[in-house]
């Protein structure tokens, strides 16, 4: 389980508290009004922000203060998921060799295979600028495959893509996550994403990240906070 | 993000702390040495007070003249379109990396005893002029700083929204009214800052005063420091003069910071304003004359350096080539040091540390280092390393001004991704920071190399003939009236300075096709 025990984070007037647990291998959407703290919640889990108090643990192991790369989390950001001056192969290689040295033969083969899995076979020599937006997202997902982390955190990485492309990417995320058996945390401001993709939903509203609820249950009988957000 | 980037902070904190400590030590230790060694005020003679007065007076005149002359030139450049305008605006940036001694030789070729102007005056049966003394010093300062003032004012002009001029035209304002409503307020905002910057630059003028000034009537404090060290070997008085120079520069620097002329490196000056006023024949002719005069004043000396230097190239002796070798080594070492400092310090706090280099004049730093080194070694043998070191410190603020904005953008964009991947500090430097910083890095290295190549400052304090750099060699040749050889060496220096800048700057651009 990924457990957030009495976690609290504050920054000026903004505050967020969370007391919940997420099961391995599930697909979880994090939804709520903008500014409520969806991305902050993800940052706390991925280690880009540290909580004021509380405890974060993965399978019983305390990771509250661990550095981002020492956590079981692979993250896709809203932007800047690839270094634009490096080729795809170099970008992906960094997941295997964070010291930036040249890859061994087996590692290079793994990179090529990951590219193949996301439909970018043979494009390892290209730079991100030479790819379409959808292809760049695919490349970033290929790196997630290589990172082999049990938690995948997505901070609206597909927000800039068209609706059809976004559906396609979420399909790919589903495949990748299934292959890794990973817990997926998808931040989205679009309730449809949640209904289409997620088995469970974490609602973040009014300074609280609520425990996960089955997607269907939640949308069939929305609690007050969600109803206000959906405007129904 | 307060607690967010802890681990990356930690990684970059150590090099930054080391670099900041080194800069602080190397600037504060000479200052401390100077303060400790400074004798009582009674040591200062009438000549020293005269030097202080002259320093202030020439700086006021240089600043005022540069800004006053820049107004019509910048106005003409802002509202006229003509072939070569872009080149001219770009050339206005060149004096920054032009070695002082080269410009001085060029000015002597125009205004000196056997120069163009005197030839014309003689032809007309008029009395000749001399370039030596206060007016020569001020003229050289205007030569260097008029372009800077023009660029600053041009930026001001181009910052006036085009809609305002359109409105003025539709209201039918006459040129005088347009000036009062639109241009005068801008000038009142920009000109004081431009004056202050040039005033501060001229306060620590050394090489110009060394070559065109001198004597009781035209000695700056910086020149007096040099004379106290080299001619009188009165280190106590030199230290005291250094304290005065330090006080001057700090006070003026603080004032200049408050007036705050945004002295960026001015991108986007190649635009032309669409204007509806000043289309009359008289206005056109006036603008044309101002631009032509400014171009002639700035380009003729350079042209003469090239023309007179070409035959002189054949006269270059082994000592000149040796000096050129020294200059190249000093410039490379100084550039490497400057960049090695600038990379970890390219943050807001780091830029403040780097400012120390601007507040301290090279001669003050040099005097302090001279005092520190002397008990342990003969300072003359350390001339070249000390020159490289001081040049690096002096270039550091410029390098930081160029690198910091881009470096901060790179950190903001890629620190999280790098952390998520757990990039090692070396991989971050090698794979992310350096490649993405290439362009500004090349530009900064080019400036540092050219500044160091042309420097005629601290090296004069330390060097003996065996350890001369090329600028010092040119100065020596001039002193022994071997003007042809001096012209040749000056041309070589010009080529080396501009060549070093071009090579580094281009190195940053070639293949920098990152998307």
With CB atoms and an 8 Å threshold, state whether A95 touches B427. Answer: no
From the DSSP assignment, how many helices (H) and strands (E) are in chain B? 24, 0
- Are A25 and A45 in a shared domain? yes
Q: Do A8 and A121 lie in a common domain? A: no
Structural domain harbouring A141: 82-147
Residue A28 falls within a domain, yes or no? yes
pLDDT score at B339 = 95
The label of the residue with tokens 């800048």 reads B501
Q: Do A84 and B514 touch (CB under 8 A)?
A: yes
Q: What percent of chain A has pLDDT over 90?
A: 69
How confident is the model at residue B6, as a pLDDT? 44
B16: distance to nearest CA of chain A, Å? 21
Tokens of B190: 């920009």
Token output for A125: 């020599």
User: What does DSSP assign to residue A188?
Assistant: -
Does any domain span residue A221? yes
Helix or strand holding residue A57 (H, E): strand A53-58
A142 lies in the same domain as A160: no
Q: A58 and A157: one domain?
A: yes
- Whether A85 and chain B come into contact, CB under 8 Å, resolves to yes
For chains A and B, count residue pairs whose Cβ atoms are closer than 8 Å: 80
Task: Please indicate, yes or no, whether residues A65 and A154 belong to a single structural domain of this protein.
Answer: yes
Measure in Å the smallest separation between the Cα of B408 and chain A Cα atoms: 15
In a domain, A175, yes or no: yes
Residues A87 and A188 in one domain: no
Distance CA B406, CA B102 (A): 33
Residues of A in contact with B432 (CB under 8 A): 83
Is residue A27 in a domain?
A: yes
Q: How far apart are CA B411 and CA A99, in angstroms?
A: 18
Query: Quick check: A67 and B7 CB within 8 A?
Result: yes
User: A77 lies in a domain?
Assistant: no
d(CA B331, CA B450): 7
Neighbours of B217 (CB within 10 A): 11
Lowest mean per-residue pLDDT among A57-66, A107-116, B224-233, B301-310: B224-233
Mutate which: B420, B429, B513, vs A, most A CBs within 10 A: B420
pLDDT at B509: 81
Residue A188 has pLDDT above 50, yes or no: yes
If asked whether residues A61 and A101 sit together in one domain, one would say: no
Task: Please check the confidence at residue A183 and state whether its pLDDT lies above 70.
Answer: yes
Residue that finishes a domain, picked among A101, A128, A147: A147
Measured distance CA(B158)–CA(B78) in Å, rounded: 7
| Nearest-CA distance A85 → chain B (Å) | 4
Q: Looking at the structure, tell me whether residues A56 and A162 fall in a common domain.
A: yes
Domain end point (choices A115, A147, A179):
A147
Closest residue, chain A, to B417 (C-alpha): A81
pLDDT at A91 over 90: yes
Are A158 and A226 in the same domain?
Answer: yes
Q: How far is A205 from chain B (nearest CA, A)?
A: 21
Are B194 and B150 spatial neighbours (Cβ–Cβ below 8 Å)?
A: no
Write phi, then psi, for B92 (nearest 5 degrees).
Answer: -65, -20
Number of domains in chain A: 2
Domain boundary among A110, A126, A147: A147
Report CA-CA distances (Å) from B367 to B21, B218, B330: 21, 21, 19
Q: Match 């060394």 to its residue by tokens.
A: B210
Task: Quickly tell me which residue has 């990748």 as its tokens.
Answer: A176
User: Mind listing the pLDDT tens digit of every residue in chain B (515 residues)?
Assistant: 333 444 444 456 788 888 888 888 888 888 888 888 887 777 778 888 899 999 999 999 999 999 999 999 999 998 888 888 888 888 888 888 999 999 999 999 999 888 899 999 999 988 888 889 999 999 999 999 999 999 999 988 888 888 888 888 888 888 888 888 889 999 998 899 899 889 988 998 899 999 998 777 899 999 999 998 888 888 888 888 988 998 888 888 788 777 765 544 555 566 666 676 667 788 889 999 999 999 999 999 999 999 999 998 888 889 999 999 999 999 999 999 999 999 988 888 887 777 776 667 888 888 888 889 888 988 888 889 999 999 999 899 889 988 988 998 998 899 899 999 989 888 999 999 999 999 999 999 999 999 999 999 888 888 887 889 999 999 999 988 888 899 999 999 999 999 999 999 998 887 655 44
- ipTM at complex level: 0.85
A161: in domain? yes
B59: its two tokens:
């700086």
| Model pTM score | 0.83
**For residue A28, which phi and psi values (nearest 5 degrees)?**
-120, 130
Does A181 reside within a domain? Answer: yes
Buried residues in A180-194 as b, exposed as e (16+ CB within 10 A): bebbbbbbbbebebb
Dump pLDDT digits (tens) for A17-36.
999 999 999 999 999 888 88
Q: Which DSSP letter does residue B167 get?
A: H
Alpha carbon distance, N-terminus to C-terminus of chain A: 33
What lies within 8 Å, CB to CB, of B10 at 6+ separation is none
On whether both A224 and A138 belong to a single domain, the answer is no
A54 and A154 housed in the same domain: yes
Which residues on chain B are in Cβ contact (under 8 Å) with A95? 421
Closest Cα in chain B, distance from residue A102 (Å): 11
Are residues A153 and A67 both part of a single domain?
yes
Which has the higher per-residue pLDDT, B214 or A211?
Answer: A211
User: What sign does the dihedral B444-B445-B449-B450 (CA atoms) show?
Assistant: negative
What pLDDT is recorded for position B358?
67
User: Is B107 within 8 Å of B141 (Cβ atoms)?
Assistant: no
For the domain that residue A212 is a member of, what is the CATH number?
3.40.50.300
CB contact set of A184 (below 8 Å; sequence gap of 6+) = A26, A27, A28, A151, A152, A154, A173, A174, A177
Q: Which of A52, A89, A99, A149 to mutate to test the interface with B (most CBs of B within 10 A)?
A: A99
* Nearest-angstrom CA–CA distance, B197 and B151: 13
The answer to whether residue A120 is domain-embedded is yes
């Amino acid at each position: 389980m990924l457990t957030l025990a009495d976690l609290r984070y504050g920054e000026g007037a903004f505050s967020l508290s969370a007391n919940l647990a997420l099961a391995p291998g599930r697909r979880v959407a994090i939804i709520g009004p903008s500014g409520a703290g969806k991305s902050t919640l993800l940052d706390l889990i991925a280690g880009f922000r540290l909580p004021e108090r509380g405890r974060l643990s993965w399978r019983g192991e305390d990771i509250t203060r661990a550095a981002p790369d020492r956590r079981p989390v692979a993250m896709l950001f809203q932007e800047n998921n690839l270094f634009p001056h490096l080729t795809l192969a170099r970008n992906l290689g960094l997941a295997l060799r964070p010291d930036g040295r040249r890859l061994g033969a087996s590692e290079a083969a793994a990179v090529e295979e990951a590219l193949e899995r996301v439909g970018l076979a043979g494009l390892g020599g290209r730079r991100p600028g030479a790819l379409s937006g959808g292809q760049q997202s695919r490349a970033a997902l290929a790196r997630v495959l290589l990172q082999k982390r049990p938690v995948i955190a997505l901070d609206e990485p597909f927000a800039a893509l068209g609706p059809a492309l976004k559906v396609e990417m979420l399909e790919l995320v589903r495949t990748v996550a299934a292959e890794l058996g990973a817990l997926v945390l998808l931040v989205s401001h679009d309730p449809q994403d949640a209904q289409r993709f997620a088995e469970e939903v974490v609602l973040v509203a009014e300074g609280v990240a609520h425990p996960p609820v089955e997607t269907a249950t939640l949308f069939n009988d929305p609690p007050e906070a969600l109803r206000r957000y959906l405007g129904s | 993000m307060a607690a967010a980037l802890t681990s990356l902070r930690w990684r970059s904190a150590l090099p930054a702390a080391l670099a900041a400590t080194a800069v602080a030590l190397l600037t504060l230790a000479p200052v401390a040495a100077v303060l400790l060694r400074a004798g009582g005020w009674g040591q200062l003679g009438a000549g020293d007070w005269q030097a202080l007065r002259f320093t202030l007076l020439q700086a006021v005149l240089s600043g005022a003249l540069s800004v006053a002359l820049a107004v019509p030139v910048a106005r003409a450049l802002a509202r006229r379109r003509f072939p070569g305008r872009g080149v001219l605006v770009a050339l206005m940036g060149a004096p920054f990396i032009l070695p002082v001694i080269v410009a001085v030789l060029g000015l002597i070729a125009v205004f000196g005893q056997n120069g163009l102007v005197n030839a014309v005056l003689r032809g007309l049966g008029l009395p000749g002029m001399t370039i030596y003394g206060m007016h020569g010093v001020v003229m050289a300062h205007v030569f260097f700083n008029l372009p800077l003032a023009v660029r600053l004012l041009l930026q001001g002009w181009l910052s006036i929204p085009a809609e305002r001029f359109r409105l003025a035209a539709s209201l039918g304002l006459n040129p005088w009214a347009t000036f009062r409503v639109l241009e005068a307020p801008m000038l009142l905002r920009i000109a004081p800052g431009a004056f202050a910057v040039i005033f501060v630059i001229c306060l620590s003028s050394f090489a110009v005063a060394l070559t065109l000034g001198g004597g009781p009537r035209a000695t700056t404090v910086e020149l007096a420091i040099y004379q106290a060290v080299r001619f009188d070997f009165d280190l106590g008085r030199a230290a005291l003069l250094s304290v005065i120079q330090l006080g001057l520069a700090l006070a003026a620097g603080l004032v200049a910071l408050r007036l705050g002329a945004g002295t960026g490196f001015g991108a986007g000056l190649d635009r032309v304003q669409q204007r509806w006023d000043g289309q009359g024949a008289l206005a056109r002719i006036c603008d044309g004359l101002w631009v032509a005069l400014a171009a002639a004043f700035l380009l003729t000396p350079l042209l003469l350096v090239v023309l007179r230097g070409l035959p002189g190239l054949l006269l270059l002796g082994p000592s000149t080539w040796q000096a050129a070798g020294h200059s190249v080594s000093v410039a490379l070492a100084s550039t490497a040091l400057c960049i090695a400092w600038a990379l970890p310090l390219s943050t807001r706090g780091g830029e403040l540390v780097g400012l120390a280099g601007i507040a301290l004049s090279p001669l003050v730093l040099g005097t302090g280092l001279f005092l520190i080194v002397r008990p342990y070694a003969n300072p003359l043998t350390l001339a070249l390393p000390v020159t490289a070191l001081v040049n690096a410190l002096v270039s550091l603020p410029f390098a930081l001004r160029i690198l910091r904005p881009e470096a901060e953008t790179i950190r903001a964009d890629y620190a999280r991704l790098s952390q998520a991947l757990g990039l090692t500090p070396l991989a971050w430097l090698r794979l992310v920071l350096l490649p993405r910083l290439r362009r500004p890095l090349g530009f900064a290295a080019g400036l540092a190399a050219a500044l160091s190549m042309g420097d005629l400052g601290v090296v004069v304090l330390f060097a003996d003939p065996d350890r001369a750099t090329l600028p010092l060699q040119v100065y020596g040749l001039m002193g022994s009236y071997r003007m042809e050889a001096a012209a040749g060496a000056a041309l070589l220096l010009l080529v080396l300075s501009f060549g070093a800048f071009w090579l580094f700057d281009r190195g940053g651009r070639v293949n920098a096709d990152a998307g």
